[in-house]
Chain A
């Protein structure tokens, strides 16, 4: 059973519009949520994160929203640019207290295409 799910394998948007990528999770013990971007033939790069005690975090064109009651997070990219075309992974970290290993559980990924 997958604890972190990205139900949309792909998303296509027009340049300048908003891209919304979604992620659902099942484990209430997650304390951090992260988004990664991955270009072909490269490693994933960290994009933005949010603590479970917050509901929004913003960094430039990227905003992550967390809805704990729905166990749902989303990444908004405004405005979208062709260079944003990549695979986006959401990930979640389980709270571990003194035994915090930092392990992440990843979703399957969503391929975003931004058309010029």
Chain B
């Protein structure tokens, strides 16, 4: 039982490049989330998927797209990376009713 896994752990991109961050959970949770963490800003929600087949914007969705591939997997795509997207990205999953979300180890992304 691995919980929430994320790949890659680290990534360096040049401005304008694209990439996809992968996330998978094995807890049979319905809801999945993508956050970014920046110094002094806490965790800010980028996109979420309340259930398989649905996705919605969070607080900071600009420059990102997501895909809920199946119940287990939720990917985050940067189509044209910008230096402002340098951050640490966390994926999480939950059974919405209980409230507690369980996080992956994060992806540290640097955009030059």
A interface residues, Cβ below 8 angstroms from B = 6, 9, 31-32, 34, 36, 41-46, 49, 89, 91, 93, 96, 99-109
Contact = CB atoms under 8 A, between A and B. Distances in A.
Contacts of B94: 102
Given A44-B90, A46-B101, A89-B43, A100 B96 contact: yes
A102 B48 CA distance: 9
B42 A107 contact: yes
B58 interface: yes
Contact of A101 (B31, B92, B106): B31
B79 to A, nearest CB: 24
Interface residues of B, number: 28
A80 B99 CA distance: 26
A11 to B, nearest CB: 16
Contacts, number: 68
Contact of B31 (A43, A45, A102, A109): A102
Nearest to B9: A41
Given A89-B42, A101-B31, A107-B42, A49 B100 contact: yes
Contact of A104 (B97, B101, B105): B101
A9 B95 CA distance: 30
A107 B43 CA distance: 8
B74 interface: no
